[in-house]
Amino acid sequence: MATTIAPAAEGTIEVNDTRTGQTYTLPINDGAIRANDLKKIKTDDADDPGLLSYDPAFLNTASCRSAITFIDGDKGILRYRGYPIEQLAEKSTFLEVAWLLRHGELPNQSEYDSFVHDITYHTYVHENMRKFLEGFRYDAHPMAMLNSAVAGLASFYPSSRNIMDPVERNISMIRLLAKVPTIAAYCYRHLKGLPFVYPDNDLSYVDNFLSMVARMTEPKYQADPIFSKALEVLFILHADHEQNCSTSAVRAVGSSHVDPFSAMSAGIAALFGPLHGGANEQVLRMVEEIGHVKNVPKFIEEVKGGKGKLMGFGHRVYKSYDPRAKIVKALADDVFKVVGVDKDLEIALELERIALSDDYFKSRKLYPNVDFYTGLIYRSMAFPTDFFTVLFAIARTAGWLAQWEEMLLDKEQKIARPRQIYTGPAERPYTPQIEHGHKVAGAKHKKDALRS
């Protein structure tokens, strides 16, 4: 049985408002004060709504209580439901981890078997989904395709909107875990101009995905066991990461009580960004641009001079080596033994070596994050650069779902609705600046249409 983390010492904090001379006592629970308690700190102005806490980008605001993932950014610790990421990566399967994230305990044999069966049973997608994906341009980014397709799944399962019905919620969660790899593989085949490959339900979760990606004329696809193992581990490492940008997006959108497919597509959208999941793609582009190990010092100097960032470095929470990056680096060695050393590995190693000994990076506590080496592994496995973040999204679906359900069942949660500090003009009368009814010349429209 899991032991819970001891809550930080409880107590109170005295706040003295120098505007009024009043002192307020605010309770501290679990190392936090409630922002709502600040409301009672007011001036004498009858219109004063009370003190707000201002925290752009949520640098120091806990938005929920969560029992799923624990991170100690200073010590480089990551645990899912108390289990160290290193042990899960070594010993478990991705589906075991998906179960663990949602249910809080590792599955026993019969729970695991029926979970695997349910996931396998739901791997197929409606044929219209295939046609929908075929409609994208040949060069569509696979994350844009995945995002739209997952949002589109809501239209196939209208009853998924009954999110408070545990049966509906369960089947939606199974469907998402089962169908996201199928859709992802279809996106890959579209990118390559290859025919879609249907799921092979005799295979494991990861092997089936690799089959849908790589199978050609062979009747049965057999993935290289090193690739299967590498992908299984990478999926485990990416499965959850507490309240990051995409998970917060899923929670915020889900808090409106929309269906889970729409909420997951919000997560995929957030993950697409280069500061988040899109970083693995950017790392590879950066390394390719550097081109040769001799150009690394110059590149580092440019970064220090404010010209761009060292992609794959730095993290909002980790202020030491990202524990996932350590595992990925070791994994890369295994993969390179099969396919040969990646041509840009030398550049990546030199970037890491210089950055880790440079004051700019040391003083800002910038260390390699999970995305620094994943791109090199994915490229060695012949995944195109555009596709890297899709692989991340398949894995993170497990975490998003667990966090989404935790949010729904949390009695303290309400629709997410931050406050703001208004900085715009005070009230002013409307004075037209344009002539209403004035027609814009058609010729301009034509020119714009040609450009689009």
Residue ranges that bind ligand CMC, judged by CB under 6 A: 244, 275-277, 279, 303, 309-316, 364, 366, 369-371
| Cα→Cα distances 244→3, 71, 76, 398, Å | 25, 11, 16, 14
Which residues lie across from 71 on neighbouring strands? 78
Minimum CB separation of residue 284 from ligand CMC in Å reads 12
Q: Any catalytic annotation for residue 276?
A: yes
Contacts of 288 (CB under 8 A, 6+ apart): 344
Which residues lie across from 70 on neighbouring strands? 79
Q: Closer to ligand CMC by CB, 68 or 214: give it.
A: 68
Give, as one character, the DSSP assignment of residue 292.
S
- Identity of residue 211: S
User: Element (H or E) spanning 25, and its range?
Assistant: strand 22-28
From 200, 259, 342, 371, the catalytic residue: 371
Helical ranges in 193-322 per DSSP H: 205-214, 225-238, 245-254, 260-272, 279-290, 296-304
Q: Closer to ligand CMC by CB, 215 or 329: give it.
A: 329
Minimum CB separation of residue 164 from ligand CMC in Å reads 31
Minimum CB separation of residue 245 from ligand CMC in Å reads 7
From 315, 322, 342, 344, the catalytic residue: 315
Q: Closer to ligand CMC by CB, 275 or 409: give it.
A: 275
In the bound complex, which residue of the shown chain has the CB atom lying closest to ligand CMC? 314
From 37, 126, 276, 334, the catalytic residue: 276
Residue 320 CA to residue 318 CA, distance in Å, equals 5
Q: Any catalytic annotation for residue 117?
A: no
Minimum CB separation of residue 162 from ligand CMC in Å reads 32
Q: Closer to ligand CMC by CB, 307 or 414: give it.
A: 307
Residue 197 CA to residue 185 CA, distance in Å, equals 8
Q: Closer to ligand CMC by CB, 277 or 399: give it.
A: 277
Q: Closer to ligand CMC by CB, 192 or 364: give it.
A: 364
Q: What share of the chain is helix, strand, coil (3-state, %, to 5)?
A: 55, 5, 40
Q: Closer to ligand CMC by CB, 130 or 309: give it.
A: 309
Radius of gyration of the chain (CA): 25
Minimum CB separation of residue 77 from ligand CMC in Å reads 16
Minimum CB separation of residue 160 from ligand CMC in Å reads 27
Residue 165 CA to residue 169 CA, distance in Å, equals 6
Residue 150 CA to residue 183 CA, distance in Å, equals 8
CA angle 60, 271, 107 (to 5 degrees): 85
Tokens of 318: 């980790």
Minimum CB separation of residue 317 from ligand CMC in Å reads 8
Residue 238 CA to residue 230 CA, distance in Å, equals 12
Name the 3-class secondary structure at 296.
helix
Determine contact, residues 99/112, Cβ cutoff 8 Å. yes
Q: Any catalytic annotation for residue 257?
A: no
Q: Closer to ligand CMC by CB, 122 or 315: give it.
A: 315
Minimum CB separation of residue 430 from ligand CMC in Å reads 39
Could you tell me how many residues make up the chain? 452
| Cα→Cα distances 303→286, 290, 307, 354, 383, Å | 12, 12, 5, 12, 28
Q: Which of 167, 72, 67, 80 is nearest to 118 (CA)?
A: 167
Residues labelled as active-site residues: 276, 315, 371
